[in-house]
Structure 1
Amino acid sequence: MIENRKYIVILAFLLIGMVYAAKLFMLQVVDDTYKRRADNNAVKRVMEYPYRGVIYDRNGAKLVYNEPVYDIMVTPREVHLDDTLAFCRLMHLTKEEVITKLAEAKDYSYRKPSAFLKQVSGADFARIQDQLIEFPGFEVVPRTVRGYPHKSFANALGYIGEISPSQLEKMGKDQYSAGDYIGISGLEYQYERFLRGKRGVKYIMVDRHGINKGAFKDGKYDTTAVKGENLVCTIDLNLQQYGERLMNGKIGSIVAIEPATGEILSLVSGPSYDPNILRGREFGKNFSVLQKDSLVPLFNRGIQAMYPPGSTFKLIEALIALQEGVIHPETHIACNRAIINCHGPHSFPDLRSAITNSCNPYFVNTFKRIINQEVNPNTFIDSRIGLTKWREYQLRFGLGRQLGLDIPNEKGGFIPSPEYYDRYYGEGHWKHSTIYSLGIGQGEILVTPLQMANLAATIANRGYYVTPHLIKSIGESGQPLLEYQQKNFVGVEARHFETVVEGMADVVDHGTGQYRAKIPGLQVCGKTGTVQNPHGEDHSGFIAFAPKDNPKIAVAVYVENAGQGARAAASIASLVIEKYMLGEIKRKNIEDYALKGKFVY
């Protein structure tokens, strides 16, 4: 009985096996439908890259746009180069270059596609697309690169580049893949999360020649790429281009701010570069050239260069002294040139006159009154207390720290602290007479042009500033980020600003800035600054705002090795104001002077 069951089980397995064998015979030999489908079609996953957001200036002019390019991808296991010479001619490559690129692709993956040629232009793609089908294993992926129609504003716009392995690890493989492009610097980096958009994917049927046979399952599993959000920049392109023209051939920067909003109207760094050279297949080569340039055009001087402020710093000294009550608008101080040298015919000025004529002894004495308020009978301890309070004011004005501009690499400058002098001189071994040069903006103080433009905006606003920023709105109906809408009060009462403003108006009307900063029909308030430079000719500095009441623009200009602030910087700053406020330049003699760049007279 048991023996019979054994044979029944064996027979059952044999019958089942025969049925499966017959079915396979039908599928594989008699009916070749599935074989033909397998031979002729495959499902291919195609990544759809989104268009990156476009950047416009405040008036709608396009600063950055997207330009289509194409990556030629290769899957090594599918490659069959029957005519290598024809392929080399098509791709404009040597045989050695083709061998090297295929070897690199195999090292990456034998089965997965990788880039064979990146960022092929539209013209080159049109030349090769019809013949590429003759070479199995190669396919095309559409991409975009950035285009710059005006060749301006390069240092702040920044550039995009291929994501590095470390960046990919940091930013997450759910958001990016190897070969993706991301913002590397400037606005492209800072606003990457808005600009990048969202990738999509399509599944398509292709035959063995790579020809598209249509969507897989009618696109059931496809996702659509989402375009990045557009940005509206605060920059006025016309003003930016004019500023770049003025700075041509010079080393320095221009920063212009709308005081009421903190919106940066112009951010010029000289020398700069054409942003179009940092895109496409020549990116690496061109970037290397820029890096090696002795004039460092990649260095954004408006936010990274740090200088002693010179006499422009006297304005903030006056405001602190007024708030502390150690001087009043009517306070007269002798211009004692035995303490420090001065210029101009004034002997016993009040505050307004001291600003107008940039009296060094007046502000050295004012600084002494701020530092030594006789809180402690020990002069060294009293100076320490006073310097601590003085430094706290500076920080509230945005000096000695980053302001929070919305692009990376902003420098914070330097405002010395008691601890700094303790390390340098030793605790209890310094006092006002050791550090009095701080009173006229020299010594260890370092500021950026951005910070000084912000100081001019703070004075224009009579006591507050809005954090300077470069993006006005995000998206179709967006607003700037919240941190760029709040007022930052500096701790000096509004009434104290009036004397300083009047003094700045006098500087331009009949003081140190009268010859090149005065604009007929427009009341400009300004302050010159000649910045001592131990390495050569002094730097020329000037800050200003206009008009005096309800100001629309605040400006800081620094021109390296250009001498007195009343020459190069005052000329350029006033021309920027004239261009923005009046729309045209009527003072052609001042424009010619600034453009020539010979500031010896």
Structure 2
Amino acid sequence: MNENRHSVIVIVIIIVGVILLSKLFMIQVVDDSFLRRAERNAVQRIIDYPYRGLISDRNSELLVYNNPVFDLMVIPQEFSIKDTAKFCDIFQIEKQKLIERYTAAKKYSWVKPSPLIKQISTTDFAKIQDYLIDYPGLFVMTRSVRAYPDSIAASALGYIAEIIPRQMERDSLHYYNQGDYIGHSGLESYYEKILRGKKGAKYKMVNVRGVDKGSFKNGTLDTASVAGLNLQSTIDMQLQQYGEKLMKGKRGSVVAIEPKTGEILSIISAPVYDPNLLAGAAYSKNYNILLSDTTKPLFIRPIQAKYPPGSIFKVVQSLIGLQWGTLTPNTTYACNKALVACHNHPSPVNLFGAIRNSCNPYYYQAFRQMINQEISSNTYTDTQIGLDKWHEAVEKFGLGHELGVDLPYENSGSVPSSSLYDRIYGKGRWKYSTIYSLSIGQGEMEVTPLQMANLAAIFANKGYYYTPHLIKAINGDPGKIPEEYTTKHDVGVAAHHFDMVQNAMAEALYGTAMRAIIKDITIAGKTGTAQNPHGEDHSVFIAFAPKEDPKIAIAVYVENAGWGGRAAASTASLMIEKYLRGHIERPALEEYVLVGDFGD
């Protein structure tokens, strides 16, 4: 009996031993999951950040490049300070911030690195690098920030900054980690995926205390970062610099386009600011200063500001009327100031004279013929039908919707339809006398400066446009730009109708914008005065030149500067001369714009 019991015990022990040995064999030889877990605990993954792609102007002049900076990283397990005051003095950090960041680092991990001081410049790094050896647990990670050699085009180029939670949520590919930099506006944001490049990674062994023990597996798992693609923009650096000089001390917009391609030559939002302010360690401080500035330098006026188009819209009315047949070049109306106010000029006028003299009563009467075509015997219904037909025609000119420029946050503007007036007044409770202010580009109409510059391009091209854009080539290849920027858009008006309109616009300068005339360069333009209920009206001017073979189309808005023939026309004329000639031959006009006293 005892022998049987002894045998059973031996057998049980043997079975248990076999099971344990088998399990150990599985763990150590067959199943490597425990090994991989151990390796994860002993291996640190260091991200190798790529250089962002460079951005140049249309002539390959550099607009944006990368500047190396250094992040001071800390491993809490190894880090200690004997003299806090001395440390803060050497590394130029406030004691409270040091405590906050070190506490955050410990909370994250005792053995993994966390940033202690971010974006240390090369100059400041040179001052501290000799002290790093005195502080175990500190090491430096190289990063890069943007730099701008000519300090121009801030609103177009945009800026990069640390990723925010909203952007993290949209990152479906999980490319970004907290603390990564990402484009926040302008080209930096729109072309983020092209500019950002591809991250690499390096793996190193550390002991349980986090001490570096060399590369993991001799670096066989390391991957190199891949730099982002370079962008060549359509901006003409010299023209952009000159335009920003002219707009200094003012508020408004300048947008210049090459009509035959839709390429944006210059895009200025005034007041301008130095883009270098939003690069480097002082980003947060400078951003808050710009954000609180009452002149709103961060507001991108060329694509976000909305204004009534004013008299410039009369050209669009003329072209739609000609296409519909409600107007002909010989259509004549009296300048009846009982209908709507107007300045003094010969009366009556035909269509050429109406454009040249910007006659308000003419367009009051012409627009009524366009809207009330007696399609219905009910006046209210007839006006609704006519307005919706007109609305559709106007939208073909790139108004009332986003053009699709390669910049984020573009505003659509507004072209009213019957549904808007139904909401305001009630269906069947409004007619032409309610909406006549649309005839001269006022009332509920709103456009952006970019849309106005695009109108100038349409007039120059005699009826078509390419979506305005800022991208000319990607890594030197113009064939890589998006297809939507090489697609022609027709506005639905026959080309021959533009001949008389162009001639009238060229003649108009002699009546309303004498300052804009350039010797030996024929400019076709139109002034406007956008009404401003909050103060002095805005000065507006659009133009293209040379009229015979247009190379540049431009729109200028100068806020609170009054009549369009002064501030806006003068600025546009100088920009045209600078682009076509490369220099200015009218120093007196240049001084007039720079001084900014537009009372005379």
TM-score, length-normalised on structure 2?
Answer: 0.91
- Provide the rounded CA distance (Å) in 1 between the counterparts of 2:139 and 2:433: 75
Aligned to 1:576: 575
> How far off is 1:211 after superposition?
8.4
Farther-moved stretch of structure 1 (336-345 vs 238-247): 336-345
1:381-392 mapped onto 2 (5 Å cutoff): 381-392=381-392
Report how far residue 98 of structure 1 moved.
Answer: 2.6
* Residue 512 of structure 2 corresponds to residue 512 of structure 1: yes
Tell me how far apart the structure 2 counterparts of residues 10 and 494 of structure 1 sit (CA, whole Å): 101
2-side partners of 1:61 and 1:544: how far apart? 27
Shift of 1:218: 3.0
1:85 offset after TM fit, Å? 4.8
Give 2:497's aligned residue.
Answer: 496
Deviations 1:165-201 (A, max 9, x none): 3322320463111211111111111110001101001
Q: In structure 2, what is the equivalent of residue 540 of structure 1?
A: 539
Structure 1 residues 450-504: Cα deviation after superposition (integer angstroms, max 9, x where no partner): 1110001011111111000111112232432111110011111111111111111
Alignment-derived partner of residue 558 in structure 2: 559
Say whether residues 1:597 and 2:596 are aligned partners.
yes
What is the alpha-carbon distance in structure 2 between the residues aligned to residue 10 and residue 365 of structure 1?
110
Query: Post-superposition, which runs of at least 4 consecutive aligned residues in structure 1 deviate over 4 A?
Result: 1-16, 82-86, 205-214
Partner Cα separation in structure 1 for residue 376 and residue 95 of structure 2: 83
Greater Cα offset, 427-436 or 246-255: 427-436
1:340 and 1:522 map into 2 onto residues whose CA distance is 35
Residue of structure 2 equivalent to 1:125: 125
Paired position in structure 2 for 1:279 = 279
Count of residues in Structure 1 that have an aligned counterpart in Structure 2: 577
Query: Paired residue for 1:472?
Result: 472
Q: Which residue of 1 is the match for residue 244 of structure 2?
A: 244
Q: Deviations over 1:490-521 (max 9, x none)?
A: 1111111111111111112x3212x1111101
Which one-letter code corresponds to 2:266 in the other structure? S
Change over 3 Å in CA distance of 1:11–1:206 after alignment to 2: closer
- After TM superposition, give the deviation of residue 356 of structure 1 in Å: 0.8
Matches within 5 A, 1:13-24: none
> For residues 532 and 421 of structure 2, what CA distance do their matches in structure 1 show?
22
Deviations 1:140-159 (A, max 9, x none): 11100111111111111111
* Residue of structure 1 equivalent to 2:379: 379
User: How far 1:365 sits from its partner (Å)?
Assistant: 1.0
Partner of 2:75: 75
Contact 1:63 1:148 (C-alpha < 8 Å) held by counterparts: yes
SS in structure 2 at match of 1:591: helix
- Report the Cα offset of residue 236 of structure 1: 0.4
Take 1:219 and 1:127, find their aligned partners in 2: how far apart are those partners?
32
Contact 2:77 2:210 in 1 (8 A): no
531-540 or 442-451: which moved more?
Answer: 531-540
Residues 136, 210 of structure 1: 8 Å contact kept: no
Aligned to 2:548: 549
Alignment-derived partner of residue 35 in structure 1: none
Closer, same or farther: CA 89–589 of 1 in aligned 2, 3 Å: closer
Residue 506 of structure 1 aligns to which amino acid in structure 2? E
Q: Which residue of 2 aligns with 1:66?
A: 66
The answer for the alignment partner of 1:34 in structure 2 is: none
Give the Cα–Cα distance (whole angstroms) in 1 for the partners of residues 529 and 57 of structure 2.
33
Matched to 1:365, the amino acid is Q
Structure 2 contact 46–202 (Cα < 8 Å) conserved? yes
Q: Tell me by how many angstroms 1:14 deviates.
A: 14
Aligned residue identity for 2:594: L
State the 1:100 CA deviation. Answer: 2.4
Cα distance in structure 1, aligned partners of 2:43 and 2:345 = 87
Distance in structure 1 (CA, Å) of the matches to 2:80 and 2:313? 72
**Mapped partners of 1:87, 1:210: distance in 2:** 22
Partner of 1:140 in structure 2? 140
CA contact (8 A) 1:136 1:209 kept: no
Change (3 A) 1:150 1:517: same
SS for the counterpart of 2:117 is strand
CA distance in 1, matches of 2:55, 2:303: 21
Range that drifts further, 402-411 or 126-135: 126-135
Q: Given that residues 133 and 209 in structure 1 are in contact (C-alpha distance below 8 angstroms), is that contact kept between their aligned partners in structure 2?
A: no
The 1:434/1:165 distance shift into structure 2, 3 A limit, reads closer
Distance (whole Å) between structure 2 residues aligned to residue 94 and residue 393 of structure 1: 62
Structure 2 partner of 1:27:
none
CA apart distance, 1:215: 3.7
TM-score (norm 1): 0.91
- The Cα of 1:594 is off from its aligned counterpart by 1.1
Q: How far apart are 1:217 and its partner, in Å?
A: 2.8
Q: How do 1:320-359 and structure 2 match up within 5 A?
A: 320-359=320-359
Which letter does structure 1 place at the counterpart of 2:590? E
Task: Give the deviation of 1:361 after TM superposition.
Answer: 1.2
Mapped partners of 1:346, 1:323: distance in 2: 26
Matches of 2:17 and 2:486 in 1, distance apart?
A: 82
Cross-structure match for 1:32: none
Q: Deviations over 1:76-117 (max 9, x none)?
A: 223233554543343223444332221121222333322111
The AA in structure 1 aligned to 2:67 is E
Give the residue type in structure 2 aligned to 1:377.
S
Asked if structure 2 preserves the Cα contact closer than 8 Å seen for 1:133 and 1:210, the reply is no
Contact 2:400 2:412 in 1 (8 A): yes
Q: Residues 153 and 267 of structure 1 are in contact (CA less than 8 Å); yes or no, is this contact kept in structure 2?
A: yes
Match of 2:35 in 1: none
Of the structure 1 ranges 280-289 and 215-224, higher mean CA displacement relative to structure 2 is found in 215-224
Q: CA deviation at 1:42?
A: 6.5
Structure 1 residues 442 and 110 mapped into 2: Cα distance closer, same or farther (>3 Å)?
same
Q: Distance in 2 between matches of 1:173 and 1:115?
A: 24
* CA distance in structure 2 between the aligned counterparts of 1:86 and 1:10, rounded to whole angstroms: 68
Distance in 1 separating the partners of 2:16 and 2:80: 44
Q: Which AA in structure 1 matches 2:595?
A: K
Distance 2:571 2:358 in 1: 20
Where 2:115 maps in the other structure, the secondary structure is strand
- Percent same amino acid at aligned positions? 55
8 Å CA contact retained: 2:230, 2:475 = yes
Gaps of 5+ in 1: 17-37
Q: Deviations over 1:51-79 (max 9, x none)?
A: 01111011111111110011111222232
On the 8 A contact 2:111/2:210 being kept in 1, the answer is no
Gaps of at least 5 residues in structure 2 are 19-37
Does the 8 Å CA contact 2:542/2:554 hold for their aligned counterparts? yes
* Structure 1 residue aligned with 2:150: 150
Alignment correspondent of 1:270: 270
| Contact 2:75-2:112 at 8 Å conserved across structures | yes
1:4, distance to aligned residue in structure 2 (A): 6.7
Partner SS for 1:442? coil
Q: Which deviates the most, 428-437 or 549-558?
A: 428-437
Instruction: Compute the displacement of 1:588 (Å).
Output: 1.5
Task: Assess, with a 3 A threshold, how the Cα gap between structure 1 residues 395 and 7 changes in structure 2: closer, same or farther.
Answer: closer
TM-superposed CA distance for 1:599, in Å, is: 0.8
